[in-house]
Amino acid sequence: MSPGYDPMDDDSDSCSIMSGSGRYAPSMASSATSYDWEMRSASPAPSVYSMTDSLVRAAFRHEFGRGINNYSEVYRLPADDEEFERLDKQHIMFMEVMGRYPPPMEEILADSPDEHKSVVDLGCGSGSWIMDVARDFPHCSAVAVDLVPMQVRNMPPNCRSEVDDINLGLQHFYGVYNVAHARLVCSGVRDYKGFIDHIARVLRPGGLIELTEFDFAAYNKHKVKIVLNHKDANRCWIGRWMILAHEAVEQMGGEPDAANHLRRWVGENDAFEDIVYRQFWFQTSPFRKGDDQETIRQNAIGAVMRDDILAFLKSGRPLLLSSGMDEAVVNEVEANACRELLEARTPSYILVEKVYARKKLTT
């Protein structure tokens, strides 16, 4: 989750977990940045970057044993191979549970002789989502935007990587895209409501916005958020770790609660219509008892989410430690959270919230 710049219960939200060159949309010249290295890619840009030693030194630095982007002091999660492997697996889980694409997307991206279609993934992370789009819609231009260049062998020819920090604004993308997607970027976005306003201008009339976030919190078995003054904070270690992560994201300048405001923020923007909001409750481990098909299905999803969270605990160390938290406290909470997840005896949930909407044809 790396940035570049009808409620349902858990039983109905989830489904089983499975056991060069191209035509580019036109874009205005990139705006200036304060960075010494020209961090913003020119548009259109090469579809694949060659990671020279100088580019590696410019793009990355090591903190607390992980590779961190060198351009944003807000986003403190890793941008290394270990993190991208986690995000690739997470993408498969999300696709299985939440669906591949929102229903309007096929219609919006249908091939047309009158308009070359284009899609942007803002904060693409490992690039799994945008590369799926590039393969599924080969007539479209697919643009991956992140703080570090996307390094993928066999990148589809209609896909390109751009290095950018979305906190610097998206003016150079205004009016360019038919679909704009962002997933789990709130930890690196300073002004998420403003980010949505920018996306409204990035989209062409009739275009699609899709946003997916979680709120850096764990929920108890009753789906009540675990907070510091809640009794569950004393007996749920993953809840306590999420409280630390929430504090760290907020301290570094991100918006950890953005997920809880997505529906309102999109709804308050006059550019959007046909707004759809969904909640997805993920078990943090396979804690359910029983051998019926629904229990087996939910526990399978819970096992995948558990593995994702275990990797996320490691990914979160640079975030927590760079915010000034005591390493002994981080170590204690992390170790106990790992044990709790592996034992799968403490029921808890992660809430993922999704909003998609169409841009009005006339505003």
- pLDDT tens-digit map of 26-38: 332 232 232 333 4
What pLDDT score was predicted for residue 54? 58
* pLDDT surpasses 90 at 264: yes
Helix residue ranges per DSSP H, 203-326: 237-252, 262-268, 293-315, 317-322
Query: What is the mean predicted confidence (pLDDT) over 228-248?
Result: 88
The model's pTM = 0.84
CA distance 266 to 214: 16
Q: Are 84 and 144 in contact (CB under 8 A)?
A: no
In this structure, are residues 68 and 62 in contact, taking their beta carbons and an 8 Å threshold?
Answer: yes
Q: What is the distance between the alpha carbons of residues 349 and 114, in angstroms, rounded to a whole number?
A: 46
Candidate from 44-53, 60-69, 254-263 with smallest mean pLDDT: 44-53
Which contiguous run of DSSP H or E holds residue 343?
helix 327-343
The pairing of strands 159-163 and 66-69 is unpaired
pLDDT at position 234, please? 80
Query: pLDDT category, 72, cuts 50, 70, 90?
Result: low
pLDDT (0 to 100) of residue 38 = 44
Lowest mean pLDDT among 151-155, 272-276, 310-314: 151-155
- Structure-model confidence comparison of residues 3 and 217, the more confident one: 217
The neighbour count for residue 327, using CB atoms within 10 Å, is 11
Tokens of 339: 């044990």
Query: Which residue is it, tokens 């959270």?
Result: 337
